[in-house]
Amino acid sequence: MGRSPCCDKNGVKKGPWTAEEDQKLIDYIRFHGPGNWRILPKNAGLQRCGKSCRLRWTNYLRPDIKRGRFSFEEEETIIQLHSVMGNKWSAIAARLPGRTDNEIKNHWNTHIRKRLIRSGIDPVTHSPRIDLLDLSSLLGALFNQPNFSSAATHASSLLNPDVLRLASLLLPLQNPNPVYSSNLDQNLQTPITSSESSQPQAESTTPTNNETSSFELMMNARLDDVASADVLPPLSESFDLDSLMSTPMSSPQQDSIEAGANSSSFFDFGFPEDFILDDFMF
């Protein structure tokens, strides 16, 4: 059993195509059409497998391919389509005349993806991403304000209640301690085993999937600790710590489709008119 190889490995050339090979393929398809890709190279006098010929034709030699840089409009279209379709490059390419799936995929991975990350957008979910480290810095600054009560009032109208409650878990509201927030960054990266207490560990190692980060343990512990606090509204039922704890490299595309693109409400917030953002910046 087993799959038959797409081509006989012996005597079949691989690697970059020469101009001569390209011309042979173009000439053959012009006169005969691609037909059966498996027998095409033999008929066209090419020492290539059919698969290689098909790829060369569809990704490079086809006359309707548009070469050159992607326009801004094309990039925006790709981003929009990707937010709905995910990595369905062929489906995206079908909506971009003259562009191949391979070209779009490459452009996404080398340009658009990086641009989105730089802009604070998760390229997988297309949702704004506030990195936990940034969050700790922001909240640390917030809760170390001299006029903390005023800041907290502003914050309660500024942030999603779930974020604010999260802050209450991360930072001791009763007794603000600058050292605590300065250690937080380190804590976020320090895994400890469940047998250990919620005491932050000094050394920083890379967490693994099987380890529980101190941050997570701390979160769980403090959820209980502050359960009776009435400073902040309770976490909504839809709040999902796991979604905050990680941004998956790949996510079920169906989820994003059903949830709708850019539908994350976790970080939804608006600025009150009298709010001065600079007051909260370092």
Partner DNA sequence: AAGCCGATCAACCGCAATGTT
Partner DNA sequence: CAACATTGCGGTTGATCGGCT
At closest approach, how far in Å is the CB of 49 from DNA?
A: 7
Window 58-97: contact mask with DNA (x via CB under 7 A):
xxx--------------------------xxxxx------
Nearer to DNA, 19 or 202 (CB): 19
Return the residues of window 217-276 that contact DNA according to CB under 7 A: 250
For residue 162, count other CB atoms closer than 10 A to its CB.
Answer: 21
Nearer to DNA, 89 or 215 (CB): 89
**Is 3 an interacting residue with respect to DNA (CB under 7 A)?**
yes
Among 44, 71, 74, 75, residue whose Cα is nearest residue 57: 44
Applying CB under 7 A, does 114 fall inside the site for DNA?
yes
For residue 14, state whether it binds DNA (rule: CB under 7 A).
yes
DSSP track, 91-127: HHHHTSTT--HHHHHHHIIIIIHHHHHHTTB-TTT-S
CA distance 128 to 266: 9
Using the rule CB under 7 A, give the single segment among 104-112, 144-152, 203-211, 222-230 that binds DNA: 104-112
- Part in contact with DNA (CB under 7 A); list of ranges 101-109, 188-196, 217-225, 273-281: 101-109
User: What does the alpha-carbon distance between residue 222 and residue 113 come to, in Å, rounded to a whole number?
Assistant: 36
When asked if residue 10 is in the footprint of DNA (CB under 7 A), the reply is no
Which of 58/264 has CB closer to DNA? 58
Q: For residues 156 and 136, what is the distance between their CA atoms, to the nearest angstrom?
A: 16
Task: Indicate the residue among 17 and 143 with the shorter CB distance to DNA.
Answer: 17
Kindly state whether residue 165 participates in binding DNA, applying the rule CB under 7 A: no
35/233 with CB nearer DNA? 35
For residue 237, what are its two tokens? 């039922």
Per-position x/- string for 26-65, each x denoting binding to DNA as judged by CB under 7 A, each - no binding: ---------xxxxx--------x-xxx-xxx-xxx-----
Closer CB to DNA, 103 or 162, in the complex = 103
The strand pairing partners of 213, in sequence order, are: 191
Distance, in Å, from the CA atom of 85 to the CA atom of 76, rounded to the nearest integer, reads 14
Of the pair 4, 238, the CB lying nearest DNA is at 4
List, in sequence order, the alpha helices (H) in the chain.
Answer: 19-32, 40-44, 50-56, 72-85, 89-94, 101-107, 113-118, 132-143, 148-158, 161-170, 178-188, 214-225, 241-245, 253-259
Q: How many residues does the chain have?
A: 282
Instruction: Quote the least distance from Cβ 185 to DNA, whole Å.
Output: 24
SS3 132: helix
Separation between Cα atoms, residue 175 and residue 169, nearest integer Å = 13
Closest approach, Cβ 29 to DNA, in A, equals: 12
Give the three-class secondary structure for 149.
helix
Q: How far is the CB of 216 from DNA (least distance, A)?
A: 27
Nearer to DNA, 110 or 254 (CB): 110
The site for DNA (CB under 7 A) is made up of 1, 3-4, 6, 13-17, 35-39, 48, 50-52, 54-56, 58-60, 87-91, 101-103, 105-107, 109-111, 114, 250
